[in-house]
Amino acid sequence: MTRSGHARAAARPSPVEAPSALGRLRRVSTETPGSRIPAVARSDDHAFAVWVAEQAGRRLLEVREQGLEGKALKDAGDAAAQEVIAALLAEHRPDDRVLSEEAIDDKARLEADRVWIIDPLDGTREYSEPPRDDWAVHVALWEKGELTVGAVAQPALGETFNTGIPSVVPPRTSARPRIAVSRSRPPAFVEALAAELDAELVPMGSAGVKVMSVVRDVADAYVHAGGQYEWDNAAPVAVARAAGLFCSRVDGSELVYNKDDVQLPDLIVCRPELAESIVDFVRRHGTD
């Protein structure tokens, strides 16, 4: 495996190979219970990100079985996943910096070459509504200005999408575009966008799940505006790019990570052929 999802994408596995290759990575982690690191993950950041996301995902599934509800379940999940990820990063990547939704922002990251951008539990609301499966764990690595690694675990599905073995986006199954939107905070302008594109809106939780829905051909685009942070979309964007999808801010500008201000309030992730019409709509109408 290379250290760059982009380089790896050039030699993408065929659709037939992809599931077994993903399975191989998954088995590595399930065969080593607890925090024993699989050999491949010691030096390979892609495999490490997968393993870390899956360790946190396993813990989240355990916490979900403890009979907690509502805010207590959200808080317990956030804390448990953060604890797992922080411990694994401290033990196995001690020289790297970390930006996590659930930790104090150590600004030393602004001078660092390697920064892990973490959302221990994305789609917290949906996590607290069992048996919903639209929640995720995000683990990304930013190196010298670029996202180079990403893993998005969907523990309730038993899937971890990643840059080490880039996903192969299936052929499009819907002629009518499907746009994934926030279930609880859909941006108002997306209704008008959908009307112009004759698209259908598909509400679901978690930014990671919505980006992966485009990777999986459950949706054709994810459009968001109005608020989000770097950890909500860093790992999903790394994975989507490695799979060949278009990713940008809603005005078509670049998504920039490891900034002092970690707000990254809007984005588009879509099949490349839809990018121009979505960006063009936003340039004409804005997002109000």
Ligand X SMILES: Nc1ncnc2c1ncn2[C@@H]1O[C@H](COP(=O)(O)O)[C@@H](OP(=O)(O)O)[C@H]1O
Annotation: binding site for Mg(2+): 101, 119, 121-122, 232
Task: Name 206's Cβ contacts closer than 8 Å, sequence gap at least 6.
Answer: 122, 123, 126, 134, 135, 136
74: its two tokens: 């959200």
Q: Which is nearer to ligand X, 163 or 213 (CB)?
A: 213
Q: Which is nearer to Mg ion, 119 or 134 (CB)?
A: 119
Q: Judged by CB, which is closer to ligand X: 48, or 135?
A: 135
Under the binding rule (CB under 6 A), the answer on residue 155 touching ligand X is no
Among the listed residues 243, 22, 238, 263, the one whose alpha carbon sits nearest the alpha carbon of residue 141 = 238
Closest contact distance (angstroms) between CB of 203 and ligand X is 9
Q: Look at residue 8 and give the partner it binds from Mg ion, ligand X, none, a contact being a CB closer than 5 to 8 Å depending on partner kind.
A: none
User: Taking CB under 6 A as the rule, does residue 206 contact ligand X?
Assistant: yes
Query: Is residue 198 exposed (0-12), middle (13-18) or buried (19+ Cβ within 10 Å)?
Result: exposed
Instruction: Considering only the stretches 22-30, 91-99, 153-161, 199-207, report the one whose residues sit in contact with ligand X under the rule CB under 6 A.
Output: 199-207
Return the residue nearest ligand X (CB atom): 227
Instruction: Kindly write down the DSSP assignment for every residue of 37-56, as one continuous string.
Output: PPHHHHH-HHHHHHHHHHHH
Exactly one of 54, 159, 220, 232 binds ligand X (CB under 6 A); which one? Answer: 232
With CB cut-offs between 5 and 8 Å by kind, which of ligand X, Mg ion, none does residue 206 bind?
ligand X
246 and 268 Cβ atoms separated by less than 8 Å? yes
Q: Closest approach of Cβ 76 to ligand X, in Å?
A: 14
Q: Using CB under 5 A, list all residues that contact Mg ion.
A: 119, 122, 232
Could you tell me which of 98, 107, 114 has the C-alpha nearest to residue 148? 114
- What x-and-dash track marks residues 98-137 binding ligand X by CB under 6 A? ---x-----------------x--xxx-------------
Q: Using CB under 6 A, pick the residue from 75, 107, 184, 286 that binds ligand X.
A: 184
Answer yes or no whether residue 283 interacts with ligand X by CB under 6 A: no
Neighbour order of strands in the sheet with 267-270: 200-204, 178-182, 221-224, 267-270, 246-248
* The only residue of 82, 154, 163, 182 in contact with ligand X, by rule CB under 6 A: 182
Closest approach of ligand X to the CB of residue 24, in Å? 29
Number of residues binding to ligand X, judged by CB under 6 A: 16
Q: How far is CA 227 from CA 48, 61, 94, 249, 270, in A?
A: 29, 28, 31, 12, 19
* Residue 45 tokens, joined: 């950041």
Query: Would you count residue 193 as binding ligand X (CB under 6 A)?
Result: no
Q: Which residues are bridge partners to 162 per DSSP? A: 151
124 binds, among ligand X, Mg ion, none (CB under 5 to 8 A by kind): ligand X
Query: Are 266 and 225 in contact, with CB atoms under 8 Å apart?
Result: yes
Is there a cis peptide before residue 131, judged by omega within 30 degrees of 0?
A: yes
Pairing of strands 178-182, 221-224: parallel
Which of Mg ion, ligand X, none does 228 bind, CB closer than 5 to 8 A by kind? ligand X
Binding site for ligand X (CB under 6 A): 101, 119, 122-124, 182-185, 205-207, 226-228, 232
